[in-house]
């Protein structure tokens, strides 16, 4: 039975004894072993009542088994819904309920906190630990190591990834088999991935970058991954020699630059360093080349669209640009108001169309319609210019979004929370330059009727309600927010006022 994603990424590896995952502790997992794990997990999902099209959510630490749940979902035809491990139970509840999840898989440590969530959402709950333990792992252990892949078509959903909305409400981006497969094919080709590659993988696997860009590209090319639990500079230095390529968010590169071990001797054998998810400063690009002799290849993507542009593998990798549209991606830069294309070199909003672009937001047909033009182009909300050679330079965002260490934070979500606190009349949340994370979150609040607001009390009040990475690192109390003549808060004025907060 056809299942295009399984047929391209997984089926060729049944019986493939080459190394797929090489772990920090020295253990190697072959493709064949990973395929048996995925089949056992697929049987365990089926035994838990998961049918093709059902959503399976995973909030678990990075491990071969966690990646195995993704593979199992593709195999069993389920829709994979990965969740940031930093999300609080309240945040998880929204995703699980909104998506109508059939099975929620979490670390044993969060089982007690998530049991009421699963109950409320009428979802089954199983556990999976980073050491391979847990109730899902136990169930899988006794299952057959083969599974006849469920029949799926190119337009069927493979994954549901939540991205926060400008209204503060998260939206589930529906990604089809073909969205994922077409992008993996384009990237393998563009970046020349082969079975000889070993990718240094220190990213989380709950976002497009570490999951689809890194893992799907590796699976399609048949190469391996040095699969590290997270970004630890000692691990990165220790395992660099075993790798040929690396993918990271800009923080990976600024941390490498801050560490003298990462020099030509350590990195000289590498074939390719790739950066994305957030702007890489041209300065970082140049400093990295000066230190290592390597020109980072920067690319640009989005959860809704997978990867859209890339600097060339051969040819000029221009610092400060995200390169040219990938083959198969139609990209135009338009006037945000009229939708008319702007002349080369002028700033407009990026719109894209292609097999890579998602099917829409889960259960939000109106929101989906608003974000597409009638001719099928998706409005990204990123502001950019394109030069005569087709190189795109991102200059800002029309959407109110902060990107901290590669994680997206929507100010509206934090503002709603601050506004609820006693004594707060109104608030504004902004991103300002941060030496490590690119942008850092700052809150600005106005007291109600002269209330005596304290930064510490406010920070304490929101701790625990939202993921730590979203919480402002500083909150300033002011008499009033700067507004334009239309009454709109001037966030640019605030960003300028607080630009030196993180030094």
Binding residues for ligand AMP, rule: CB under 6 A, are 163, 208, 276-279, 298, 300-303, 322, 380, 382, 394, 397, 403, 408
| Shortest distance (Å) from residue 176 CB to ligand MCA | 16
502 sits near ligand MCA (criterion: CB under 6 A): no
For residue 314, give both structure tokens: 């051969």
**Residue span 264-283 as binding mask against ligand MCA, x where in contact by CB under 6 A, dash where not:** ------------xx------
Give, in order, the Cα–Cα distances in Å from 388 to each of 300, 345, 379, 382: 19, 8, 22, 19
Matching residue, tokens 């990646």? 67
The single residue among 301, 323, 354, 381 that binds ligand MCA, judged by CB under 6 A, is 301
Q: Which does 209 bind (CB under 5 to 8 A by kind): ligand AMP, ligand MCA, none?
A: ligand MCA
- Piece in contact with ligand MCA (CB under 6 A), picked from 105-113, 280-288, 402-410, 422-430: 402-410
Nearer to ligand AMP, 177 or 277 (CB): 277
* By the rule CB under 6 A, 251 interacts with ligand MCA: yes
Q: Which is nearer to ligand MCA, 77 or 82 (CB)?
A: 82
Q: Which is nearer to ligand AMP, 161 or 256 (CB)?
A: 161
Beta-strand relationship, 438-447 and 474-477: parallel
d(C-alpha 13, C-alpha 168), whole Å: 42
Decide which of ligand MCA, ligand AMP, none touches 279; Cβ closer than 5 to 8 Å per partner kind.
Answer: ligand AMP
SS3 152: coil
Nearest Cα residue to 249 out of 186, 289, 180, 299: 299
CB nearer ligand AMP, residue 103 or residue 350: 350
Distance of CA 44 to the CA centre of its chain: 27
Asked if 152 and 73 count as a contact pair (C-beta separation under 8 A), the reply is: no
> Is 310 a binder of ligand MCA (CB under 6 A)?
no
Helix (H, G, I), strand (E, B) or coil at 182: helix
207 forms part of the interface with ligand MCA (CB under 6 A): yes
To the nearest whole angstrom, how small is the minimum distance from the Cβ of residue 413 to ligand MCA? 14
Letters for 37-76 (x = contact with ligand MCA by CB under 6 A, - = none) are ----------------------------------------
Distance, first Cα to last Cα, the chain: 58
Instruction: Specify the residue for token string 């990075």.
Output: 62
The arrangement of strands across the sheet holding 157-163 comes to: 124-127, 103-106, 55-59, 79-82, 157-163, 171-176, 360-361
Q: How far apart are CA 377 and CA 363, in angstroms?
A: 20
**What minimum distance in Å lies between the beta carbon of 161 and ligand AMP?**
8
Query: Which of 134, 348, 406, 443: binder of ligand MCA (CB under 6 A)?
Result: 406
Partner whose footprint covers residue 298, from ligand AMP, ligand MCA, none (CB < 5 to 8 Å by kind):
ligand AMP
Distance CA 470, CA 403 (A): 10
Give the nearer residue to ligand MCA in terms of CB position, either 307 or 445: 307
What DSSP assignment string belongs to 290-307? HHHS---EEEEEETTTEE
Which residues have C-beta within 8 Å of that of residue 265, sequence separation ≥ 6?
none
SS3 324: strand
Return the ∠ at Cα 249 (arms to 243 and 251), rounded to 5°: 100
Residue ranges in 434-453 that form contacts with ligand MCA under rule CB under 6 A: 437
Which residue's beta carbon is nearest to the bound ligand AMP? 303
Q: Does 405 bind ligand MCA (CB under 6 A)?
A: yes
Decide if 356 contacts 300 (C-beta within 8 A): no
204 part of the interface to ligand MCA, by CB under 6 A: yes
- Provide the mask over 459-478, with x wherever binding to ligand MCA is found by CB under 6 A and - wherever it is not: ---------xx---------
Quote the least distance from Cβ 410 to ligand AMP, whole Å.
10
Q: Is 431 in the site for ligand MCA (CB under 6 A)?
A: no
Place of tokens 């902060």: 402
Least Å from the CB of residue 438 to ligand MCA: 9
Please give the residue whose beta carbon sits closest to ligand MCA in the complex: 405
* Integer Cα distance of 72 and 85 in angstroms: 20
Task: Find where tokens 């169309």 sit.
Answer: 353
The contact set with ligand MCA (CB under 6 A) reads 203-204, 207-210, 230-231, 249, 251, 276-277, 301-303, 404-407, 437, 468-469
């Amino acid at each position: 039975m056809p299942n295009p994603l399984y047929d391209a990424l997984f089926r060729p590896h049944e019986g493939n004894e080459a190394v797929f995952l090489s772990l920090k502790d020295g253990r190697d997992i072959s493709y064949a072993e990973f395929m048996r794990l995925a089949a056992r997990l697929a049987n365990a999902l089926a035994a838990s009542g998961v049918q093709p099209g059902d959503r399976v959510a995973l909030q678990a630490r990075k491990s071969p088994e966690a990646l195995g749940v993704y593979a199992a979902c593709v195999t069993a035809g389920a829709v994979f819904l990965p969740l940031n491990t930093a999300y609080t139970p309240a945040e998880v509840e929204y995703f699980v309920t909104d998506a109508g999840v059939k099975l929620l898989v979490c670390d044993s440590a969060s089982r007690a906190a998530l049991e009421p969530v699963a109950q409320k959402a009428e979802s089954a709950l199983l556990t999976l630990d980073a050491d391979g333990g847990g109730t899902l792992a136990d169930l899988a252990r006794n299952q057959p190591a083969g599974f006849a892949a469920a029949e799926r078509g190119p337009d069927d959903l493979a994954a549901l990834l939540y991205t926060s909305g400008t209204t503060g409400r998260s939206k589930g981006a529906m990604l089809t088999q073909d969205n994922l497969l077409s992008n993996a094919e384009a990237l393998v080709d563009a970046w020349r991935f082969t079975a000889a590659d070993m990718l240094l993988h220190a990213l989380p696997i709950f976002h497009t970058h570490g999951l689809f860009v890194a893992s799907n590209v590796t699976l399609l090319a048949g190469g391996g991954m040095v699969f590290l639990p997270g970004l630890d500079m000692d691990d990165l230095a220790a395992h660099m020699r075993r790798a040929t390529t690396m993918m990271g968010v800009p923080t990976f590169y600024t941390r490498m630059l801050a560490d003298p071990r990462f020099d030509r001797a350590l990195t000289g054998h590498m074939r390719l360093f790739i950066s994305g998810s957030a702007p890489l400063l041209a300065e970082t690009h140049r400093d990295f080349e000066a230190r290592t002799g390597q020109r980072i290849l920067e690319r640009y993507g989005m959860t809704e669209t997978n990867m859209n542009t890339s600097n060339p593998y051969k040819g000029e990798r221009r610092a400060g640009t995200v390169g040219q549209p990938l083959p198969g991606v139609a990209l135009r830069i338009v006037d945000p108001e009229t939708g008319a294309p702007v002349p080369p070199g002028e700033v407009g909003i990026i719109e894209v169309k292609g097999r890579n672009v998602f099917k829409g937001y889960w259960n939000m047909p109106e929101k989906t319609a608003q974000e597409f033009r009638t001719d099928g182009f998706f409005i990204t909300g990123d502001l950019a210019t394109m030069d005569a050679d087709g190189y795109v330079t991102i200059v800002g965002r029309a959407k109110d979004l902060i990107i901290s260490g590669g994680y997206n934070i929507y100010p509206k979500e934090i503002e709603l929370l601050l506004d609820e606190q006693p004594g707060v009349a109104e608030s504004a949340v902004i991103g300002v330059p941060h030496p490590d994370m690119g942008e850092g979150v700052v809150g600005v609040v106005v007291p109600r009727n002269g209330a005596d607001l304290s930064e510490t009390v406010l920070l304490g009040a929101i701790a625990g309600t939202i993921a730590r990475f979203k919480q402002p690192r500083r909150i300033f109390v002011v008499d009033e927010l700067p507004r334009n003549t239309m009454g709109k808060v001037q966030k640019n004025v605030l960003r300028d006022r607080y630009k030196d907060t993180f030094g």
